[in-house]
Chains A and B, each alone.
With several copies, the nearest count.
Chain A
Amino acid sequence: MFGLANPDTFARVTRPLIAPLWVIAAGLLITGAVWAFRVPEDALQGDTVRILFIHVPAASLGLAVYGALGLSCLFYLIFRHSLADAAARAAVLPGAAYTGLALITGALWGQPMWGTWWVWDARLTSMLVLFLLYIAYAVLRGAFDDEGRAARAASVLGLVGLINLPIVKFSVDWWNTLHQPASLLRAGGTSLDPAYLWPLLIMMAAYFALFLAIWLTTLHTEIMRRRVLAMRARQAREDRHV
């Protein structure tokens, strides 16, 4: 496990995974999307039920990716390992995109279902907070010209943001809100109709694979960039010595 903390080992082990991941993500996305269009209309929700297949995986992955970001930050703060910082940074874009997608599709769904785009209840607010936290992390990470300082400050914020995750997750149980309570992942097994469950699970897997593909690709680019910088620095030192 800790062998992977070496950037070179990490690059070597994960390199072969990247291309397959992109292919898997694309395949799952297409399968899931086609399937989602062929499920029967819901008795209550009609056609809008199809938003489910975009909304739920986006929301779940938005949360999960922040978890990965927060843990990377923790890892960075403990071990001061720059790979952890890079991992956190690489999670921002997909995470924020998923969260933003969940917010938008949720609002679109809310209009027909609840008669309003938005309410300030616990689930929706905490999800908005999650989105803003992604942005805050990214802005803070870019706000210093000293890399170490930027990484440290941003990691502290990323870690602080972890508090928000259980709030988003359990907001529907702790407070009565307009939002649907958990039906998929809950004590006592799922309560979702299998007709919806399977395409949903496939979409989940697709979003997850897509995230992994983006994450690893970004990390690899970053490792390469650092190698080039290090090489240039070495070159400059040697030039000075001769």
Chain B
Amino acid sequence: MNGAGLLLRREMALAWNGGGGPLLACGFLLSLAVIVPLGAGPQLDQLANLAPGLVWLALSLASLLTLERLFERDFEDGTLDLLAMGPLADEAVVGVKVLAHWLTIGLPLALMTLPVGISLGLAPDQLPLLAVTAALGALAFSFTGGLGAALAIGARKGGLLIAVIVLPLFLPPVIFGAGALVAQADGRSPGPALALLAACVLVAGVVGVLAGAAGLRGSRT
């Protein structure tokens, strides 16, 4: 297997066996699906207005929560040194790690938004759009998160720092993602918002990989 495949496999195995991140994050999303409607009681239909915002908020937080350890453990136990001595450039290392994060956390979370959407009273014909935007948005979150985690390697207050770095960069996908759903619900075309979301993903991908690699290089002191 080539380097990228090996690293991807390792990262995914670590995500599933190490911290239980994916299931925790999914559980977090799901619990929202259970408890919010319980609290809402009879006014469930009014909840539907909140639904896009709530789902996207939850999605972004769930992604954020699993990011802290993206590079920190590797930094502490010397894995980053090993990774620097292998076949992949820093950019590719960041890219593969981010991809693994998306595959193990982002995609499951995107799937999980469906039951959440349903239980929050989202119209059934909105669900396909929700799934697509959530998957795209999660990818953008993973990229920006990777950037934040790489820049924060070895910093004091690592977790908080990542949140602060990442928060402004998380806002656009949230706005456009929720915006697409709102537009569809209002009978407008979700196309423009969707296009903007895709643009966010692209920009996040390029910038995340480049800046993440710069963060990796900077951590070598």
Contacts and interface: CB of A to CB of B under 8 A. Distances in A.
- State yes or no: do A and B touch (Cβ within 8 Å): yes
Interface of A: 77, 118, 120, 125-126, 128-130, 132-133, 135-136, 139-140, 143-146, 148-149, 152-153, 156-157, 159-161, 163-164
Interface stretch (B6-14, B78-86, B123-131, B167-175): B167-175
A140 B165 contact: yes
Contacts of B221: 146, 148-149
Nearest to A154: B151
Contacts of B171: 125, 128-129, 132
Interface in B168-212: 168-169, 171-172, 175, 179, 203, 207, 211
A66 to B, nearest CB: 12
Nearest to B203: A163
Interface stretch (B114-122, B132-140, B155-163): B155-163
Chain B interface, DSSP helix/strand/loop, else mixed: helix
Nearest to A119: B38
Interface of B: 38, 147, 151-152, 154-157, 161, 164-165, 167-169, 171-172, 175, 179, 203, 207, 211, 214-215, 218-219, 221
B203 A136 contact: no
A128 B169 CA distance: 11
Contact of B154 (A77, A126, A135, A149): A149
Nearest to A118: B38
B89 to A, nearest CB: 16
A75 to B, nearest CB: 15
Contacts, number: 74
Most buried by B among A160, A161, A163: A160
A144 B155 contact: yes
Contacts of A130: 168
Chain A interface, DSSP helix/strand/loop, else mixed: helix
A144 B211 contact: no
B218 A149 contact: yes
Contacts of A149: 154, 218-219, 221
B152 A152 contact: no
Contacts of A133: 168
